[in-house]
Structure formats: C-alpha cells, structure tokens
Amino acid sequence: MKIAVCVSHVPDTAAKIVIGADGKSIDPTGVQYIINPYDEFAIEEALKLKEKLGGETVVITLGGESSKETIRKSLAMGIDNAVLLKDDNFRDSFLVAAALASEIKNQNAELVFFGKQSVDYDNSIVGQMTAEILGYNCVTVVVNLKIEGNKILAEREIEGGKEVVETSLPAVITAQKGLNEPRYASLKGIMTAKKKVIEEKKPAAGSNKLEILAMKKPPAKQPGKIIGTDAGAVPELVKLLKEEAKVI
Ligand SMILES: Cc1cc2nc3c(=O)[nH]c(=O)nc-3n(C[C@H](O)[C@H](O)[C@H](O)COP(=O)(O)OP(=O)(O)OC[C@H]3O[C@@H](n4cnc5c(N)ncnc54)[C@H](O)[C@@H]3O)c2cc1C
C-alpha cells in the first residue's frame, strides 16, 4: 500500500512572533521553524503501518526551500521518499489542499495522513478539504487506528470521551496527540536522509479563496492590582471580583 504523509513546516511555538511590515504576514527574521508537532504523530502512524503491512511511504510538503529541513526530519524518522511542492507565494488552506490532492493522486496513495492542525495558522481544515477534493473517506482527530484489509477502524477524540468509527480505503486520517509516541530519528536515519533526493515539483496553480486583510497581536495584559496583604482585604477583593472582573 502506498501511504502519503502531508507535513507542514511551522514556526516553533516558543518563537517570538513579529508581524511583518505589510501588517498581514509574519516576519520570518530570526524565527526557528520546526516540523508541525501533530504531523509527527502522522509520520509515526504511517511508519508503523508500513512496518506491519509493507508498502511505501512518501512525505509531501508545500512550501519554500527552507521546508526541506522538515522534509529531511521526516526522512530521518524513516519515510521512504519525499516531494516538495515548491512555492513561496501565499496560498490559503484551499489552495494548499488542492495542490496536495493533485500530488496524492499522482502518487496513487490510498491512505493519507495529516496532522489534525497546523500550529501556525490553526485552521484544521487542510486534511478534510484534501479528502473532499480526492473523494476519499475522512476521519479526523484520530487517537487509535486499526486497518484490516480494506476496513479502517478508528477512535476519535471527542469532548469527554471517544467515538469509534468504521470506514474504508481510500481514506484521509488526521492525527491527534495520543495516537502514538513518535520515534526519534536514529543516527543511521539522519545519515540516510541526508543522501535522499527530495523531488521538487511545481504545485498545481489556482486562485486563493481567502485574502488576509490584517494580523493583530492580542491586547497587552493589564498589570496586576494588589488590594492588601492581610484578611482585611477580602471584602474589597470580593467586591472587585463581582463588580469589576465579573467572575463571581
Ligand atoms: C508560502 C506560503 C506563505 C503563507 N503565508 C501565510 C501568511 O502570511 N498568513 C496566513 O495566514 N497564511 C499563510 N499561508 C497559508 C498557510 O500557511 C496555510 O494555510 C498552511 O499551509 C496551512 O495552515 P492551516 O492552518 O490552513 O492548516 P491546517 O488545516 O491546520 O493543517 C492541517 C494539516 O494539514 C497539513 N498541511 C497544512 N499545510 C501544509 C503544507 N503547506 N504542506 C503539507 N501539508 C500541510 C498538515 O498535515 C497539517 O497538520 C501561507 C502559505 C504558503 C504556502
């Protein structure tokens, strides 16, 4: 079975984000980029399935030259092949999904893993949109997965519990934390990944359906207020919690 994993290259969540001069993008200067954390669960599941069922794995990333770092990390973990859909221009989630779908079709992959969410723009829609474009079944926020023949049994995380669903291949699965424990790349894996060829392609063209008008930082936090340091401050504290903070 051919298994594809779509992986995004995102700013480290610890990075200090600065809005660019145009007011609608992130200034990438000095920002450390990493593999999207949810995509590591996607990679691990693809590797486990390949080890169990055989077949071939391919990582697909849409982005600029710097995305190759993330692709190499995926290869170092054990993914067989890599495709970079090279584009430095802004693409909205739909145009990202359209380009990924076109390459997945080209790869003839029956099973496709995504993270449940990209931690940069947090849209949580690329996997679902890709499934729709391909006409594949789709199960999201998966925390447990079993594949027997053509049948897929999955557990999804829902508020306060789990939902068990059944579907069939071809399918898109979006991975949630807890699906597995992503492996570390071995030294051998890192060395092998360095020698592997990353196939570069021009992604399918199209028009964005969404335009970013502005990016804004959250309002600065108000400084804390010290009302008193002994029990005498309690009545005033209760009054302020009721009337000002409106939390009681
Ligand atoms: C060059 C470029 C510049 C951009 N600049 C901006 C910008 O300044 N502001 C802005 O708001 N948006 C920007 N975008 C759009 C934004 O990066 C995309 O929407 C992003 O790729 C997906 O984020 P999301 O929140 O929609 O993904 P989600 O729907 O949250 O992602 C879910 C999953 O989809 C997969 N996935 C997502 N993106 C990719 C990818 N690129 N390649 C492979 N798999 C992927 C991953 O498995 C991920 O876990 C840009 C896109 C590109 C290509």
8, 92, 173, 211, best to mutate for ligand 1 pocket (most atoms within 8 Å of CB): 8
Q: Look at residue 221 in the predicted model and tell me its pLDDT.
A: 85
Which of these, 199, 207, 11, lies nearest to 106 by C-alpha position?
Answer: 199
pLDDT at 181: 98
pLDDT at 15 (0 to 100) = 87
Residue 63 alpha carbon to ligand 1 centre in Å: 9
Residues 116-148 pLDDT 10s: 999 988 999 999 999 999 999 999 999 999 999
CA distance 44 to 38: 10
Residue pair 31/140 in contact (Cβ under 8 Å)? The answer is no
The residues of the chain scoring below 70 in pLDDT are none
Ligand 1, atom nearest to 125 Cα: 29
| Residue 245: per-residue pLDDT | 86
90 lines ligand 1 (CB under 6 A): yes
**Buried b / exposed e along 116-154 (16+ C-beta atoms within 10 A):** bbbbebeebbbbbbbbebbebbbbbbbbebebeeeebeb
Contacts of 68 (CB under 8 A, 6+ apart): 84, 198
Q: Is 93 in the pocket of ligand 1 (CB under 6 A)?
A: yes
Note the pLDDT of residue 116: 97
pLDDT of residue 218: 85
- CA 124, distance to chain mean position in Å, is 8
**Atom 2 in ligand 1: which residue has the minimum CA distance?**
90
Mean pLDDT of the chain: 95
Set out the domains of the chain in order of their start, with CATH numbers.
2-201 (3.40.50.620)
